Amino acid sequence: MKDRRVVISGIGPVTPIGQGLSEFREGLRRERSAVGEVTRFDATPFRSHIAAELESFRPEHWLGSKRARRMDRFSALSLAACALAVEDADLDPSAPAPERVAVQMGTALGGVGYAEEQHGQYLEHGLRGINPMLALSVYGGAASCNIAIEYGFTGPNSTNAMSCASGAMAVGRGFQLVRAGDVDVALCGGSEAPLAPLTFGAFAVIRAMSTRNDDPATACRPFDGGRDGFVMGEGACVLVLEELSHARARGARIYAEVCGYGTTSDAYHMTAPRPGGTEAARAMRLAIADAEVAPSAFDYVNAHGSSTTLNDATEAQAIDSVFGDRISEVAVGGTKAYYGHALGASGAIEAGITALALAESWLPPSLNLEKSDTPYDLSFIPSGGKDAEIEYALSNSFGFGGINAALVFRRYEP
């Protein structure tokens, strides 16, 4: 049933630059990085002392004080993002048949940060010091299961754990389920709460993170020649995907149409991308072919842009190979400098940004990009962003383990 059209009717971001679409939109327009010194714990033992923290997130606002005490941050972020997406979509959760609603989420680490915290309680107080809900909080599936329980949705439910591509893969899977006719609505996205000493330190040990500790706001610099690693962030984003006639029947506002998804595996190395970016490029080509459109139709790529030397260089090469002679005409932007790299949530956040770019005809800039070192003629979006009415856009997400995912979005036309 490939003729079923799938649209985005709700966007629920919970990020360091804004919670809820209105705040998030304003955060993008302000062009300020949320990266700062880590305050959640003592980061001085590590080479990197900086991160993008969600300073104003209060779980009790979304869950009530009792539930907030029993639920870990990762799951709380998932529920908050879903509530924001449902509200933004003006969707009555009781209206669709529960079996016709899917929940698809992604995360790299799930509740690992919470498990670390609880281990400290165990060492200090023994078993009596542990939250009884620990076993139900640490596994990745808690993201989608808590959402399904909250709203009573009984359709396909899963949380993938494919590193930094997880959020994009969840959106891709939700898209496939709606397009195939298995469901009419899919709540899909990603959630990540990795800011805990052991988790943070694990990435510091492999020297993957920036050490620009004296100037945190400029530390994340996708595609810039001065980059020295990614900056960890936390957050979540859920999108409401609907079959077009279902959305139109209830008068939903539509941001964009999802029309293609592709994923591949480098099968090469756990941290380094496959040289040449061949599998990353193939994921893009698969998504474009799935959308049944030519590469010449694209005006915008929301790049993964992790701010790591190898990944940025490989992605630039992959983008160049896909768009060829038109590469200088395709606007390319990497937005992680705003809110850090929220690992498994990043792909969902960036899918939301791409949909918003199509709806509002404004492309956010690549912050901190002063001088690119890529040899390819990529047209990076400068400070101030870019006003542009675009028809097709591509959003990339690449993760550790060599996981590549790409999503194609189209400007909505009735």
- Please give the positions annotated as active site: 164, 304, 341
Taking alpha carbons only, the member of 295, 153, 359, 319 closest to residue 223 is 319
Q: How far apart are CA 73 and CA 111, in angstroms?
A: 8
Question: What is the number of other CB atoms lying within 10 angstroms of the CB of residue 41?
Answer: 16
Q: How far apart are CA 308 and CA 305, in angstroms?
A: 8
Q: Give the DSSP H/E element, type plus range, for residue 117.
A: helix 112-125
**Paired sense of beta strands 157-160 and 185-192, if any:** unpaired
In angstroms, what CA-CA distances link 369 with 224, 229, 302, 316?
5, 14, 15, 14
Q: How far apart are CA 161 and CA 146, in angstroms?
A: 16
Whose tokens are 């870019």? That residue is 386
Q: Rounded to a whole number, what is the distance in angstroms from the first to the last CA of the chain?
A: 19
Q: Which residues pair with 94 in a beta bridge?
A: none
Taking alpha carbons only, the member of 89, 81, 31, 84 closest to residue 363 is 31
Q: Identify whether the C-beta of residue 71 lies closer than 8 Å to the C-beta of residue 235.
A: no
Q: Identify whether the C-beta of residue 218 lies closer than 8 Å to the C-beta of residue 368.
A: yes
Q: Residue 211 carries which side chain, given as an amino acid letter?
A: T
Q: How far apart are CA 368 and CA 376, in angstroms?
A: 19
Per-residue DSSP letter, 273: P
- Token pair in block for residue 97: 């048949």
- Token pair in block for residue 157: 């439910």
Whose tokens are 């599998």? That residue is 279
Q: Where are the alpha helices (DSSP H) in 126-196?
A: 134-137, 142-151, 166-180
- Token pair in block for residue 181: 């006719």
